[in-house]
């Protein structure tokens, strides 16, 4: 059996993502006039679980892996969030990603709290058997945390539908009941949802189109640069091209590729599928650096690769009028002010890439109903969620005279804080 794993992010010398998240959280909380007790209760995760996972490797030796699950909030409903397998996984990163999930679910109005999990490992250097044993061992360790009504994992960097299938299987065996709704992002045959694979890129496209409408950018006359050509980047690029935009640059770990006349995205996707794991050697464009891609003269920039790509070092050189964040945390908090001063509109990650968790929610709903929707129905409902969320955040940005990013945090924090108030604390 061959299993294709997503490219884990290389370790980058980035700012602590928890600090980036907290800076924006604090700014929004101050504007909202959040009282101290609410502020304190929302800034810390509800539950932090760290486990040591001994796994027998193929060579017979036992290796011990660090695993985490952080439940940031369950105020709006069961907590939801992916599991990351990468050598760079650490508790601060998992805490930041868990809080982002809380804000993301609240922004798009789905009845979930936020969580995230991670295992410090390198999935590319592990066999399928080792990954299966590690995943089952993690599921056993987290069996009291996970649950269709408690905490629902999903794939993130370094994990994939096969890993979700193992979690679903192990959890169902432990509980003695079939529990497909314990995890989303499953293979279709095990209860996955149509449209899930494309959902994040589709939501990025819907956010970009809505923002372009506000900025009076005509898609047919616009140029777009996309950083990252994995699930989110390649599908965003493909769907933006279908809207009539000219995709002038794409990139992946091998570098960036630029063509002023526009890149044929279907051809680039086919190149990736048929010839190589990366775009290395792709002939449809001239090679440039990833740094050059970020500062290109294109109307729209879609960072869809890693955290902290736009920083105080390069923000002043960015020429795009609109940035739509496909990745989680691609803009460091120290770049926000520079982008605002330049008048660049940023559709923030917790809004722009929320199409994925929205369709994960649909997968969970379908699993609980035992009834499956058509792709057309999934897409229609997801597009509606994304458009409504965009308009809510846009209206808040006008009301409070703040960036779309701070407006998204305001919308989210307000919702979670009022739920906390209604549920009460003793």
Where on the chain is the footprint of ligand NAD (CB under 6 A)?
6-7, 10, 156-157, 200, 227-233, 251-253, 290, 304-306, 326-328, 353, 356
Nearest Cα neighbor of 100 from 20, 15, 7, 203 is: 20
Q: E strand or H helix at 154, and its extent?
A: strand 151-155
Distances (CA, A) of 296 to 226, 257, 290, 327, 346: 11, 11, 10, 19, 16
The values of phi and psi at residue 315, to 5°, are -60, -35
Residue 173 buriedness (CB in 10 A; 0-12 / 13-18 / 19+): middle
> Least distance to ligand NAD from the beta carbon of 5, Å?
9
Six token digits for residue 288:
């440039």
Q: Are strands 286-288 and 255-258 parallel, antiparallel or unpaired?
A: antiparallel
In sequence order, which residues have a C-beta less than 8 Å from that of residue 313 and are 6 or more positions away? none
> Least distance to ligand NAD from the beta carbon of 251, Å?
5
Q: Which of 75, 80, 104, 116 is catalytic?
A: 116
Nearest residue (CB) to ligand NAD, 11 versus 398:
11
> Least distance to ligand NAD from the beta carbon of 203, Å?
9
Nearest residue (CB) to ligand NAD, 278 versus 340:
278
Active site residue 116: yes
In sequence order, which residues have a C-beta less than 8 Å from that of residue 411 and are 6 or more positions away? 106, 107, 392, 393, 396
Write 124-133 long-range contacts (CB < 8 A, 24+).
Answer: 124/5, 124/8, 127/58, 128/1, 128/3, 129/58, 130/55, 130/57, 130/58, 131/3, 131/85, 131/163, 132/166, 133/55, 133/56
> Least distance to ligand NAD from the beta carbon of 34, Å?
26
- Answer for the pair 94, 153: CB distance below 8 angstroms, yes or no: no
Residue nearest ligand NAD, Cβ-based: 230
Nearest residue (CB) to ligand NAD, 86 versus 168:
86
> Least distance to ligand NAD from the beta carbon of 108, Å?
12
> Least distance to ligand NAD from the beta carbon of 421, Å?
29
First CA to last CA distance, the chain: 53
Nearest residue (CB) to ligand NAD, 29 versus 211:
211
Nearest residue (CB) to ligand NAD, 219 versus 228:
228
Nearest residue (CB) to ligand NAD, 168 versus 357:
357
Which amino acids are annotated catalytic?
116
């Amino acid at each position: 059996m061959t299993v294709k794993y997503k490219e884990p992010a290389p370790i980058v010398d980035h700012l602590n993502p928890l600090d980036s998240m907290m800076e924006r959280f604090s700014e929004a909380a101050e504007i909202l006039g959040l009282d101290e007790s609410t502020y304190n209760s929302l800034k810390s995760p509800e539950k932090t679980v760290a486990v040591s996972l001994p796994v027998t490797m193929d060579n017979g030796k036992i290796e011990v892996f660090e695993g985490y699950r952080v439940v940031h909030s369950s105020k709006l409903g069961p907590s939801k969030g992916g599991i990351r397998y990468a050598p760079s996984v650490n508790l601060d990163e998992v805490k930041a990603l868990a809080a982002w999930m809380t804000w993301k679910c609240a922004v798009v109005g789905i009845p979930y709290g936020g969580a995230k999990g991670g295992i410090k490992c390198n999935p590319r250097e592990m066999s399928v058997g080792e990954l299966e044993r590690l995943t089952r061992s993690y599921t056993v360790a987290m069996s009291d945390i996970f649950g269709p009504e408690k905490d629902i994992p999903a794939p993130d960097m370094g994990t994939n539908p096969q890993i979700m299938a193992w979690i679903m299987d192990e959890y169902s065996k432990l509980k003695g009941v079939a529990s497909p709704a314990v995890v989303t992002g499953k293979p279709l045959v095990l209860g996955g949802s149509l449209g899930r694979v494309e959902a994040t890129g589709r939501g990025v496209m819907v956010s970009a189109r809505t923002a372009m409408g506000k900025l009076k950018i005509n898609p047919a006359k616009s140029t777009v640069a996309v950083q990252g050509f994995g699930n989110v980047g390649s599908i965003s690029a493909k769907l933006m091209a279908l809207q009539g935009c000219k995709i002038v640059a794409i990139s992946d770990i091998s570098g960036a590729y630029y063509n002023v006349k526009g890149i044929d995205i279907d051809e680039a996707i086919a190149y990736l599928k048929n010839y190589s794991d990366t775009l290395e050697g792709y002939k449809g464009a001239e090679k440039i650096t990833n740094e050059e891609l970020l500062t290109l003269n294109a109307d729209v920039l879609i960072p869809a690769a890693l955290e902290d790509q736009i920083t105080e070092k390069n923000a002043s050189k960015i020429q795009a009028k609109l940035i739509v964040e496909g990745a989680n945390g691609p803009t460091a908090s120290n770049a926000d002010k520079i982008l605002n001063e330049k008048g660049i509109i940023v559709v923030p990650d917790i809004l722009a890439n929320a199409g994925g968790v929205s369709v994960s929610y649909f997968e969970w709903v379908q699993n609980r109903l035992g009834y499956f929707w058509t792709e057309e129905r999934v897409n229609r409902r997801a597009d509606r969620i994304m458009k409504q969320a965009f308009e809510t955040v846009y209206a808040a940005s006008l009301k409070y005279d703040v960036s779309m990013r701070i407006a998204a945090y305001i919308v989210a924090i307000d919702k979670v804080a009022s739920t906390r108030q209604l549920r009460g604390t003793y």
